[in-house]
Amino acid sequence: MVTAMVTDTVVKVIKNNKQPLYLLCMLMIGMGGLFPVLLVAGDWKISPNVSIKGTYTDNANLFSADKKGGFYTQVTPGVAIKREGAGRIKMNANYSLSYTGNRPGSRGRTVAHSLASKMQAELYKDVIFLDAGAGARLGSATSGGQRGGDSVGDISDPIQTYTYSLSPYTRHHLGRYADILARYTFNQVINSGGRSLDSYSNQAVISINSGSYFTRFPWGVSYRQSRINNEGGAAASETTSINANISYVYNRKWRINLNGGKVDYDIQSSRSSTDSVTWSTGATWTPTPRTDIDFSYGRQMFGQNYGFDLNHRWRRATWRASYKKALTNSRAQQLAQSNNAIGFSGNQSANYQRYSDYATLTDEYYVIETLNTGFTLGTRRSNFSVDAHFTRREYEVSGNKGRDIGTNTSWSRQLTPKTDLKAAVSWQKNRANENAREDTRWTWSLGLSKRLTEQTSANLDYKHRRLDSTANTGEYRENQISLSLASRW
């Protein structure tokens, strides 16, 4: 039965979704097929998986009145590929395809791809290297939309995004005195639905950083030039920067940091000038081996710039907090979500979702301010986490000001060696600009997971969604209950 359902899914995807599937295959083949000689050697771990899920909702169309129930099914085959340890290539990739039958209303997408992959290769021993990556994720083209990986969830204006990057580089050690790095990076962002916000970029970086001889006074100098070409008629943008930094390690607890440089932005902006001399000064304070605080103050093209990053670790708990301000765009945020989604030490990370920006998809640059804080606690049988964020954006051309604020709380408990209980609550308040509607979203969930065998598990989940809006339109309440079966081998 499972085989038949998976086969039927694949056939429907090929018939109805040729272009995204072709693109995704090309991305994966491109990463794995560039260097077949290297791929043959070494130990590779390939783990196929599949899940089947049935869900009942009491509000299929997310209406505030005349609610109608509905039942839909999802089949999600996937594969995880991993290679670490000794050798000249490392790779970690997770891919899944979600097909939804009887999709309720106009929500989400029938077919959704999820891919997070990274590769590192040594092409010529100790001289030439290559970093490569590819990603695919379902998101929202408008601010305040989808906040997770559910292809049928609360998705406002859903959009499937694909990214990939190739970055060859060379490095050379000048004894203990300095390290030289020269890197070229090409990346591309492709959005589904015939949108005009696809783009590609070329970037060159040359840097010289101090070697082990300068342990007391580490320093660095870098030159960077990049160009982003936007498809669909939007103007290209260029950035050229030169930067120098030096630090003074006073003792084990204190490190003083100085930065200075010049950045020339050739971007669309309402400012009279987008060129700027930049500088910052700050310090890193490590009062204990478990605590580190980094703070800085300076000036950028958009004005004063200050930030901090705090981390404290107990034996079973961690606390983190950070504030930063930067000039960015939607494209950079899409790439960051893909690049941070996976590493070589583990599987796809859940934390990258918390720190991603969810602005409306546009080619306009904006200044973003983000304050994040989070706390995690783990015991022998339980795990608890809570995080909060505040994000503010000011757009360079239109002058619009958007804002997001939200919290996420989750708790899990191992009831028996094979049974887990989990609960979560999230709250999100979003406003695309000063004159726009303000939406408030609540999500409550409760789930029970049972491991049937070493490779198979079953899940029973309940979820309640709620949307309130100052516009008094589009509001809804929804209850969902789902049962799923997942297997890996």
Q: Which residue has the higher pLDDT, 367 or 65?
A: 367
Greatest mean pLDDT among 97-101, 146-150, 258-262, 430-434 lies in 258-262
Contact at 8 Å (CB) between 108 and 158?
Answer: yes
Helix (H) or strand (E) holding 337: helix 330-339
Nearest to 333 by CA among 300, 305, 364, 291: 364
pLDDT given at position 29 = 42
Which residues make Cβ contacts (< 8 Å) with residue 156, sequence separation at least 6? 140, 142, 144, 145, 146
pLDDT given at position 150 = 67
β partners of residue 389 = 372, 406
Helix (H) or strand (E) holding 9: helix 2-16
- Average pLDDT value for residue range 102-123: 87
Ramachandran category for residue 193: left, alpha or beta (phi over 0 → left; psi -120 to 50 → alpha)? left
Q: pLDDT by residue (tens digit) across 17-38?
A: 444 444 444 444 444 444 444 4
pLDDT given at position 196 = 64
Q: pLDDT by residue (tens digit) across 426-477?
A: 999 988 888 888 999 999 999 999 999 999 999 999 999 999 998 878 889 9
CA 320, 326, 330, 335: dihedral to nearest 10 degrees?
A: -60
H-state helical runs in 220-308? none
Q: pLDDT by residue (tens digit) across 412-431?
A: 999 999 999 999 999 999 88
Enter the DSSP assignment of 370. E
Contact at 8 Å (CB) between 152 and 107?
Answer: yes
Alpha-carbon Rg for the chain in angstroms? 24
Contact at 8 Å (CB) between 170 and 127?
Answer: yes
Place of tokens 């839909």: 72
- Residue 65 φ/ψ, nearest 5 degrees: -140, 165
pLDDT given at position 35 = 46
The 3 state secondary structure assigned to 12-33 is HHHHHCHHHHHHHHHHHHHHHH
Checking if the pLDDT of 219 tops 60, the result is: yes
Say how far residue 123 (Cα) sits from the centre of its chain.
28
- Going by pLDDT thresholds of 50, 70 and 90, the confidence category of residue 194 is low
CATH class held by domain 2-488? mainly beta
pLDDT given at position 109 = 84
- Going by pLDDT thresholds of 50, 70 and 90, the confidence category of residue 352 is very low
pLDDT given at position 355 = 42
The count of residues in the chain is 489
Place of tokens 């950035």: 239
Which of 68-77, 101-110, 160-169, 184-193 has the weakest average pLDDT? 101-110
Report pTM: 0.84
Which of 86-90, 320-324, 398-402 has the weakest average pLDDT? 86-90
Nearest to 156 by CA among 388, 428, 474: 474
Which residues make Cβ contacts (< 8 Å) with residue 25, sequence separation at least 6? none
Q: pLDDT by residue (tens digit) across 269-307?
A: 988 888 889 999 999 999 999 999 999 999 998 989 999
> 390 in helix, strand or coil?
strand
Nearest to 459 by CA among 139, 51, 164, 87: 51
Q: pLDDT by residue (tens digit) across 355-386?
A: 455 677 888 899 999 999 999 999 999 999 99
Q: How many Cα atoms within 13 Å fall on the side-chain side of residue 144?
A: 23
pLDDT given at position 149 = 52
Contact at 8 Å (CB) between 296 and 280?
Answer: yes
- Going by pLDDT thresholds of 50, 70 and 90, the confidence category of residue 325 is very high
- Average pLDDT value for residue range 224-237: 87
Domain boundaries, the chain: 2-488
